[in-house]
């Protein structure tokens, strides 16, 4: 009888593939960003940023003519936000600082004490509730002031960002131990020229993307060294960067398609990760941009060069790599595009499409969880087994429904892919973050696309928050450490 009982017990507790669990040192969180949730756009001395300016001067920029003036009103409702986080049971909360709430003009010469107080309150409340703050310094809301001198395309941006980072480390670094310099520099440099408030300026394609990338990378390295030289000894935290990565899977086993997929990964992720890990752009990027530039009649490559000193300064400026992952593609080789107008897309080359069997999300992107596992494996192999934190992953719908079974299904699959990367591939990934804590201002989509675990009622002044079904699901994952 005893034997039978222990046999049954053994059978039921022996782990199977689906019962892999998250290791004890693996952490769970949720993310937001300042402009997307705070509101209080001109409260208590906050300065104007590019998103305030853009949405006020060009309301049609967002598909619902909305802006982030009030958003989720987290500038006033931060205590309720912390209670939501507490209810979820998350280990950490990833949020961003609004640069112009702290430095109204963007410059370090004037600090807005009310803005500093806001973040002190939030950070203290998080810690009092056992939640670690994880802070993004820059999540797209650049000071509008900088547009008058070319924003990121003026190398002075490097120093301006470094000064801002130093102030943030000094003010909050006693309590904040995880810092992200930039959120998705790729999106900043490639997706929207409007990000810099430079809509009317003419910056040629195939040039601006690289100028912007070059400056943001240098700004990142500068901030990292400031932390190393002035704060690390006392504060003992970690500094990294968050890069977005849509997985590129070769469309076939043909070597040209395998190469094409790798080329795309290097142009999309390596462009940023390689300088930070190894000190320079990926070989394939350097070669292709030089070659195409030459054929287009440029005397030099459109890709700027790092001096040796700059390379040494960049190399190794990360304690972790932050990964934002939402989507995947199949990639195949394509004939070289004609040499005419320069363009980043032509530099990337290749062709991409989706597998018709992949299920749709309700907005931009497909459900293909293998892409997350492959991204993690590829980062491990390409960047010396770096520590990886998944800083965003999430599911968009248009309704904000409380019965968000599709979101739960999405999260379960991507969390499972993360488990596989940990247990099958020994990837050094130590955190997973859901985008987002609550429905919020989704950039050009305004309030029409919803990623929240909590629903927000944007029709009432109270901006009432209501838990969706996914809150219950994520809470159980965090508690039981299985999907």
Interacting residues with ligand GBH between 356 and 395 (CB under 6 A): 364, 392
52 binds ligand GBH (CB under 6 A): no
Listed ranges 40-48, 184-192, 341-349, 372-380: which one lies at the site for ligand GBH (CB under 6 A):
184-192
Using CA atoms, how far apart are residues 88 and 473, in angstroms rounded to an integer? 9
φ/ψ bin of 385: left (φ > 0), alpha (ψ from -120 to 50), beta (otherwise) = left
Residues whose CB is less than 8 angstroms from the CB of residue 250 and which lie 6 or more positions away in sequence, other chains included = 257, 258, 260, 261, 330, 331, 332
CA torsion 330→332→337→343, rounded to 10°?
A: 30
Of 83, 280, 445, 448, which one interacts with ligand GBH (CB under 6 A)? 445
Burial class (CB in 10 A: 0-12, 13-18, 19+), 200: exposed
Q: 385: closest CA among 398, 393, 376, 372?
A: 376
Number of residues that bind ligand GBH (CB under 6 A): 16
Residue 268 bears catalytic tag: no
Listed ranges 307-315, 404-412, 423-431, 444-452: which one lies at the site for ligand GBH (CB under 6 A):
444-452
Residue 201 bears catalytic tag: no
Listed ranges 77-85, 168-176, 180-188, 264-272: which one lies at the site for ligand GBH (CB under 6 A):
180-188
Instruction: Write down the catalytic residue from 125, 132, 222, 392.
Output: 392
193 binds ligand GBH (CB under 6 A): no
137 binds ligand GBH (CB under 6 A): no
Q: Annotate 281-307 with b (16+ C-beta within 10 A) or e (fewer).
A: bbebbeebbbebbeeeeeeebbbbebe
Nearer to ligand GBH, 95 or 281 (CB): 95
324 binds ligand GBH (CB under 6 A): yes
Of 244, 266, 274, 317, which one interacts with ligand GBH (CB under 6 A)? 244
Instruction: Write down the catalytic residue from 184, 209, 222, 268.
Output: 184
33 binds ligand GBH (CB under 6 A): yes
Burial class (CB in 10 A: 0-12, 13-18, 19+), 265: buried
Of 308, 312, 381, 444, which one interacts with ligand GBH (CB under 6 A)? 444
Nearer to ligand GBH, 420 or 436 (CB): 436
443 binds ligand GBH (CB under 6 A): yes
How many beta carbons lie within 10 A of that of residue 44, not counting itself? Answer: 13
> How far apart are CB 71 and ligand GBH at their closest, in Å?
12
Burial class (CB in 10 A: 0-12, 13-18, 19+), 241: buried
CA torsion 31→32→33→34, rounded to 10°?
A: -130
Residues belonging to the active site: 184, 392
Contact set with ligand GBH (CB under 6 A) = 33, 183-184, 187, 191, 244, 324, 326, 364, 392, 435, 442-445, 451
């Amino acid at each position: 009888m005893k034997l039978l009982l222990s046999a049954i017990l053994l059978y039921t507790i022996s782990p199977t593939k689906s019962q892999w669990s998250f290791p004890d040192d693996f952490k769970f969180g949720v993310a937001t960003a300042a402009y997307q949730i705070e509101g209080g756009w001109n409260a208590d001395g906050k300065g104007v940023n590019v998103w305030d300016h853009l949405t006020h001067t060009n309301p049609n920029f967002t598909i619902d003519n909305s802006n982030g003036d009030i958003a989720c009103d987290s500038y006033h409702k931060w205590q309720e936000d912390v209670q939501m986080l507490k209810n979820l049971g998350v280990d950490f909360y990833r949020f961003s600082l609004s640069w112009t709430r702290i430095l109204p003009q963007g410059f370090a010469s004037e600090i807005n004490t009310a803005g500093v107080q806001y973040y002190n309150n939030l950070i203290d409340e998080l810690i009092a509730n056992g939640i670690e703050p994880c802070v993004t310094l820059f999540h797209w809301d650049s000071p509008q002031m900088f547009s008058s001198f070319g924003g990121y395309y003026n190398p002075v941006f490097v120093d301006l960002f470094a000064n801002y980072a130093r102030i943030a480390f000094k003010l909050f670094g006693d309590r904040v131990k995880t810092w992200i310099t930039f959120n998705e520099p790729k999106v900043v440099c490639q997706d929207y020229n409007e990000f810099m408030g430079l809509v009317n300026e003419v910056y040629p394609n195939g040039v601006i993307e690289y100028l912007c990338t070059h400056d943001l990378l240098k700004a990142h390295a500068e901030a990292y060294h400031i932390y190393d030289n002035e704060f690390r000894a006392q504060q003992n935290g970690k500094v990294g960067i968050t890069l977005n990565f849509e997985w590129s899977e070769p469309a076939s086993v043909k070597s040209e398609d395998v190469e094409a997929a790798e080329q795309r990964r290097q142009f999309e992720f390596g462009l940023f990760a390689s300088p930070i890990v190894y000190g320079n752009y990926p070989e394939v990027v350097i070669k292709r941009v030089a070659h195409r530039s030459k054929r287009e009649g440029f005397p030099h490559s459109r890709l700027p060069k790092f001096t040796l000193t700059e390379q040494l300064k960049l190399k190794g400026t990360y304690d972790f790599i932050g990964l934002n992952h939402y989507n995947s593609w199949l990639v195949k080789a394509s004939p070289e595009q004609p040499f005419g107008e320069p363009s980043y897309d032509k530099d990337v080359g290749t062709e991409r499409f989706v597998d018709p069997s992949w299920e749709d999300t309700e907005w931009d992107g497909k459900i293909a969880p293998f892409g997350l596992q492959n991204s993690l494996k590829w980062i491990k192999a390409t960047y010396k087994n770096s520590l990886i934190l998944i800083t965003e992953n999430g599911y968009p719908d248009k309704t904000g429904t409380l019965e968000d079974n599709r979101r739960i299904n999405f999260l379960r699959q991507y969390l499972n892919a993360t488990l596989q990367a940990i247990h099958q591939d020994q990837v050094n990934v130590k955190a997973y973050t859901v985008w987002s804590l609550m429905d919020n201002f989704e950039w050009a989509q305004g309030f029409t696309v919803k990623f929240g675990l909590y629903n927000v009622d944007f029709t009432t002044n109270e901006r009432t928050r209501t838990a969706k079904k996914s809150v219950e699901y994520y809470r159980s994952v965090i508690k039981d450490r299985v999907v």
